[in-house]
Copies of this chain bind each other. A is one copy, B any other.
């Protein structure tokens, strides 16, 4: 029933290649099916102004998409003069999600910027960005730990994300573009390695949904995130 022939609870193939950007403190290229996101983590030895003097650090994220990552070319945001509403929403989500897995006090007064740039898009780019962004962040943190710049590891747990939705009346996991553009309801679940929830964002895109459907989607997400966390562990 799914355009790709997958089962309702079947994820796409996941690969995470680390160390792909020579200059970054941490980096990876994550592929989830045909979706490809290049993630880097950059350590800056200066916390943002609102944290000066608090002893706490910060993790933030920026998201971008190459103009031809998509089926038809999108205008380059640098050329339009601003980041669109969708971009702003996504990068705020990535930042919040990653911070939920970090002890900002243990990080100390510095900032890590995670850049997620979509090279190729086929649905689920924000979830791939969170999952891959976490790997880049973990690698950058390793440098801080190894260099003795932090007294304890600031990473609390894995963070990964998967999309779920109601497609053709059925709850499915890890929607590709063909499904995403047709789904009556879809959204994203961000979870920790131990299965706790960080973000739940479900939207009716054409059909409202019931409490029971919400439960089915939570079940799918829980299993899907488990696979993503396993892929993160394998990559490190």
User: Of A10-18, A50-58, A114-122, which stretch is located at the interface?
Assistant: A114-122
A77 is an interface residue with CB less than 8 A from chain B = yes
Contact present for A192 and B218 (CB under 8 Å): no
Q: Please tell me the number of chain A residues within 8 Å of chain B, measured between CB atoms.
A: 57
Instruction: Name the CB-closest residue of B to A24.
Output: B68
A197-B204, A197-B208 are contacts. A76–B89 as well, Cβ < 8 Å?
A: no
Contact present for B201 and A201 (CB under 8 Å): yes
A96 is an interface residue with CB less than 8 A from chain B = yes
Contact present for B83 and A68 (CB under 8 Å): no
Instruction: Give chain B residues whose Cβ lies under 8 Å from the Cβ of A87.
Output: 78
Taking the nearest CB of chain B, how far is it from the CB of A73, in angstroms?
A: 4
8 A Cβ contacts from A182-236 to B:
187, 192, 196-204, 208-211, 214, 218, 222
Question: Main secondary structure on chain A at its contact with chain B?
Answer: mixed
A64 is an interface residue with CB less than 8 A from chain B = yes
Taking the nearest CB of chain B, how far is it from the CB of A197, in angstroms?
A: 5
Partner of A92, one of B23, B85, B204: B85
Taking the nearest CB of chain B, how far is it from the CB of A107, in angstroms?
A: 15
Contact present for B214 and A76 (CB under 8 Å): no
A153 is an interface residue with CB less than 8 A from chain B = no
Of the candidates A68, A73, A203, the one having the most CB atoms from chain B within 10 angstroms of its own CB is A68
Partner of A64, one of B44, B71, B78: B78
> A133 vs B233: C-alpha distance in the bound complex, in angstroms?
37
A40 is an interface residue with CB less than 8 A from chain B = yes
A67 is an interface residue with CB less than 8 A from chain B = yes
Taking the nearest CB of chain B, how far is it from the CB of A58, in angstroms?
A: 14
Instruction: Give chain B residues whose Cβ lies under 8 Å from the Cβ of A202.
Output: 197, 199-201
Contact present for A89 and B78 (CB under 8 Å): no
> A68 vs B192: C-alpha distance in the bound complex, in angstroms?
27
Instruction: Give chain B residues whose Cβ lies under 8 Å from the Cβ of A117.
Output: 66
Partner of A209, one of B71, B76, B196, B211: B196
